[in-house]
Structure 1
Amino acid sequence: MSILEQFNQGRVPAERILRRGSHSCYAILHFGLNTFTGKEWGYGDEDPAIFNPAAFDAEQIVCACRDGGLSGIILVCKHHDGFCLWPTKTTPYNISRSPFRGGKGDLVREVADACRKYGIEMGFYVSPWDRNHPDYGTPAYLEVYQEQLREIYSGYGPAFEAWFDGANGGDGFYGGARETRRIDPSVYYDWGHTWKIVRDLRPEAVIFSDIGPDVRWPGNENGLAGREAFGSYTPHAPVAGKEPAPGFACCAEGENGHADGRFFIPPECDVPLRPGWFYHPEQDALLRSIPQLAQIYLRSVGCGGFLNLGIAPDRRGVLHENDVRRLREFRKMVEAFNSGNAAAMEFTLSAGEVAVEEFGREISFNLIDMAEDLSRGESVTGYAIEVRHNGEWKEVVSGKAVGLRRMKPLPETSGDALRFRLESACNSTAALTLVCRLVPGNLLQCDTANAGLLNREDYHELHPGEKKGMSLEWRFATPFSLHGFLFTPVPEHWAGTPDKFRFEILTGGTWRTVAEGEFANLRANPIPQQVLFPQASADGCRLTALHCLEPGEALVCGSFGLLID
């Protein structure tokens, strides 16, 4: 029996999925050492003494999420750096070694208590990858990790979700040994026993990962499922003959799923409210706009999935006022998408059959909102919708999947009747509900991705650098006084894209290294990468790829610029 067969009952959704009902939007909260270092992926060698959010207020954070219409918070209890936000017995690298609450603090406890107080559900993420623990990469670490899960899921109350991501086989071990350690992600974490810990302790919790078993990753951190994404899904391993696992799957398939998928594992679409997952002060004015969030909502909840919105407290330990304001605006946006009912219908059809709803009057709408009865599994694989206006029928929408929910925007349309034609289905019949809505038109207008990181006043973009193998080099007509740079990758072009780099400046004819490190999480979140260093004057600079996401003949760079004084 495969791992998924142990935890997923097949094409019929588990009750824990159906129980979510309207709880389709929730948060994942990133807060830790990275908040104070400016990193996205810490190295595991940061001193816990830097973690001292003097004004930490779990209730402020939880209330902001509640007021934003979010139903739950998944707390990142441990990120890849290995620093634990609770006083775990498994490692000294935890919150008790920080000044927080005089070394007596338990941030997980405070967030869990605030969630219970204000009626918000609580979920947990404990990173499998640990860049600090000396046993990482050996069988001994798995015992440590599984005990961390037992502490969390037995000690902090109910959980609506257990979160596991695919970033669980990194090569960097910086906490002490500073060496490369490889694992076989298909077997190292023993997912059958590891997931069983969660299932036994918190059977109500939905388990998320690249492959499920309850909800799946759509293969990106843009919050987007495929426009015709199926909830049904058959995960595949990247190596023939092996079983898929978190961090060892063909994740691009998660965007659309499979009409004939063996399991019902709908997409959970994760996206940060800011450009990055952790708080960075230079991003205070770069939150995703409401038009952007509207498109994300349509491509997550509106495509049969769930929306997991990343929030990040600042160094004080509270959500920045801009984030609080945007969350309130987000709630109003979601409410607008779920109101404005113009007409509704329910019907059961076999393939080739048609259902007609007579409105009895002319109505206007610009959104069709549908859902299937999934008691026998996902059925619809093709449909078309027509509207009658002035006695003539016109097709206005067609598609493949419906599943948990399907929201189809269209230009504002008027008519006095609607006709739904089921063109194909997996089961003998399909039962659906359909609502026509009229929502504010601005919510249906597409908005481009947030590129504001490149619009800051101290950013000076350079012309394409001179290619020298795996380096790009620039010579300046006049010296620059600089304190950092921004490297922007080319999405989906990974051959030659550096994930480890060295940056040098030229001063007085001599090159010297001023920064060396990594660009983290480029595949999933290819945003501009900021690197800071002490102010320096330079006549030129050079960026060298020390390692690439995939082998390439030359360093690949979308754009590159300096942060100047």
Structure 2
Amino acid sequence: MTVKLAVPTPQQVEWHDTEIGMFIHWAPNVYQDQEYDDLSTPLDRINPSELDTEQWASVAESLGAKYIVMVAKHVGGFCMWQTDTCDYGVKDTPWRDGKGDVLRDLSESCRKRGLKLGIYLSPQDIYNGAQLAGRCETPEAQEKYNKIYRTQLEEVLSRYGEIFEVWFDGGQEIEVGDILERYVPNAVYFQSKHASIRWVGNEEGIATYPAWNAVRADSEAARGLGTIQHSDPNGEIWMPMECDARIRNTWFWNTQNEGTVKSLDHLMELYYRSVGNGAVLLLNANPDPTGQIPEPDARRAKEFGDEIRKRFANALCEAGGSGDTLEIELMEPTAIDHIVICEDIRYGERIRSYEVLGFDGEQWLKLCSGTAIGHKRIERIAEATLHKLRLNVLKAVDEPRIASLTAYYTGAATVFSPNNIRSERQKVGEWGPELFIYKVDRKSTETYDIGDLIDDAGQYALYFDNADGGASSVRAEGVRLLLNGASYPQFVSQTEDRYRINITGLGQRIQLELELYCELGNNGFGNIWLEKL
């Protein structure tokens, strides 16, 4: 079956390939010990005497980031560059006698290291009376702020060389399309009606699997307001996800949060569940009032980058090509605990279902399986010594294009995907605490397309497990089978810890709508399985 697929632009492909970026948040609220600027800090107190963009760029480089997104203006309205649009910015402070320009310094530091530069310019601006998305209370105030914002955007996009990414946090309702086209036609845009990338939907740095890149043209996502909830493998528009995450528990430095610097294990989980699910990770750094990224944060960022390089710098084998099967014969029996698959996304996400097998000298073991691959799918498997690897594409909407199939031995203990999993079992998706972050009742409704996991009519079991092999701390309180969008409750029944699904025919869109409940205090994650009975 051949269908018209969403495909990325060359700019989106380049953005995918970066895999990791670094966010930088700094504003007057670092002097207020809080997350948002209430405009209470006297301008003559704002003097980050040790601010050094060379240090920032060095931290990004050690992290393995390929780009930096600088918060040029957060919601308070403080401007980190020389602007005449207002009197609330670095030019109005004693820092460098009012002549300092953070964007100028950072752009130069990025160029020296080959880093790309992104700009975050908040449409919300408390100092100038603009609320979320740049809305003002009166038409007169709106007209005045529109001119201010458009001028600010022109300034930051025209003065500092090539801009890789533009962030419009919280949406953007001021018309700026002409400015983007004039100054940064090759950038990617986060949110707004001009969006070419989207927010993943949480600030935990996680793209819950499967993280399809396409969205439907008639969805909110096509208007720049999408999240992972809008992912649709058959969508008409390529709109990949950026996973923004904090290295501490807040975006801005404060005196209370040094102890919240994320552990290396935590950061590696973010990597697996963002980059390893085909998305891009944007990890925040929060300079302190002196302007320096604190040493504990810088050290952890380097440890994170070092660990990624240690695990994935040297592949044990590699192959690529077209077709439903790709096999690699290893030079000798080799211990493996990670499989990495990359589609050639220039042709879209063609694969809908796959499995990876390993030959141990006596038999073929099923190592892992799934649906979405996209830019990169990292599969963690229990350690196995193998002679051969084989990728089988079970379903695809066009000829599969595999950019690479690689294997690694990391020595990192994991049982996320046990070897020799039953051939009848297919992964529907993954679950984690990110699904329940904004849910006070610890419930979340998720919808999964399962048609590509089903080869024949029959009975199927739906169940959950924990990544550590234990009992799942997430359960389904309700399961609905949707056939072409209509619910068929008579085809679903519950037996103990699993649901039984009766599939009476194919040739239609088959979905499961799950009402998930997360146990209190759960921080684990795991898999959702569908198994033919």
- TM-score between both structures, scaled by the size of structure 2: 0.72
Q: Deviations over 1:35-75 (max 9, x none)?
A: 11122122345543332112222222222222332222111
| Match of residue 92 from structure 1 | 87
CA distance in 1, matches of 2:285, 2:194: 23
- Asked if residue 258 in structure 1 is aligned to residue 232 in structure 2, the reply is yes
Q: Deviations over 1:331-383 (max 9, x none)?
A: 2112023234222222311xxx4333332532211111111112322211111
Distance 1:210 1:358, change over 3 A: farther
Aligned length: 416
| Match of residue 269 from structure 2 | 295
The offset of 1:309, in angstroms, is 0.7
CA distance in 2, matches of 1:68, 1:444: 26
CA distance in 1, matches of 2:398, 2:5: 14
Q: Deviations over 1:423-445 (max 9, x none)?
A: 11122443342001111315888
- Asked if residue 159 in structure 1 is aligned to residue 135 in structure 2, the reply is no
CA distance in 1, matches of 2:341, 2:79: 42
Q: Deviations over 1:80-113 (max 9, x none)?
A: 0111111212222222222212222222222222
Query: Any conservation in 2 of the 1:29–1:311 contact (CA below 8 Å)?
Result: yes
- Asked if residue 363 in structure 1 is aligned to residue 334 in structure 2, the reply is yes
- Asked if residue 82 in structure 1 is aligned to residue 77 in structure 2, the reply is yes
How many percent identity over aligned positions?
Answer: 27
| Match of residue 409 from structure 1 | 380
CA distance in 1, matches of 2:307, 2:194: 29
- Asked if residue 215 in structure 1 is aligned to residue 200 in structure 2, the reply is no
Query: Which of 180, 201, 226 does residue 198 from structure 1 map onto?
Result: 180
CA distance in 2, matches of 1:400, 1:18: 21
Query: Which of 298, 322, 326 does residue 296 from structure 2 map onto?
Result: 322
- Asked if residue 43 in structure 1 is aligned to residue 38 in structure 2, the reply is yes
- Asked if residue 19 in structure 1 is aligned to residue 4 in structure 2, the reply is no
Query: Any conservation in 2 of the 1:35–1:278 contact (CA below 8 Å)?
Result: yes
- Asked if residue 424 in structure 1 is aligned to residue 395 in structure 2, the reply is yes
| Match of residue 150 from structure 1 | 154
Query: Any conservation in 1 of the 2:199–2:226 contact (CA below 8 Å)?
Result: no
- Asked if residue 493 in structure 1 is aligned to residue 497 in structure 2, the reply is no
- Asked if residue 372 in structure 1 is aligned to residue 343 in structure 2, the reply is yes
| Match of residue 394 from structure 1 | 365
- Cα RMSD, aligned residues only: 2.8
- TM-score between both structures, scaled by the size of structure 1: 0.68
CA distance in 2, matches of 1:251, 1:319: 30
CA distance in 1, matches of 2:5, 2:179: 21
SS at match of 2:291: coil
Q: Deviations over 1:6-62 (max 9, x none)?
A: xxx982211112234752211110011121112212234554333211222222222
Query: Any conservation in 1 of the 2:380–2:414 contact (CA below 8 Å)?
Result: no
The offset of 1:270, in angstroms, is 0.7
| Match of residue 537 from structure 1 | none
CA distance in 1, matches of 2:396, 2:192: 27
Query: Which of 141, 147, 159 does residue 145 from structure 2 map onto?
Result: 141
Query: Any conservation in 2 of the 1:34–1:41 contact (CA below 8 Å)?
Result: yes
Query: Any conservation in 2 of the 1:382–1:400 contact (CA below 8 Å)?
Result: yes
| Match of residue 3 from structure 1 | none
Query: Which of 257, 263, 276 does residue 283 from structure 1 map onto?
Result: 257
SS at match of 2:359: strand
CA distance in 2, matches of 1:443, 1:312: 31
Q: Deviations over 1:118-138 (max 9, x none)?
A: 332211111011111046512
Q: Which runs of 5+ in 1 are unaligned?
A: 1-8, 169-184, 451-489, 496-557, 560-565
CA distance in 2, matches of 1:444, 1:271: 25
| Match of residue 272 from structure 1 | 246
The offset of 1:245, in angstroms, is 3.8
- Asked if residue 54 in structure 1 is aligned to residue 36 in structure 2, the reply is no
Query: Any conservation in 2 of the 1:84–1:95 contact (CA below 8 Å)?
Result: yes
CA distance in 2, matches of 1:443, 1:308: 25
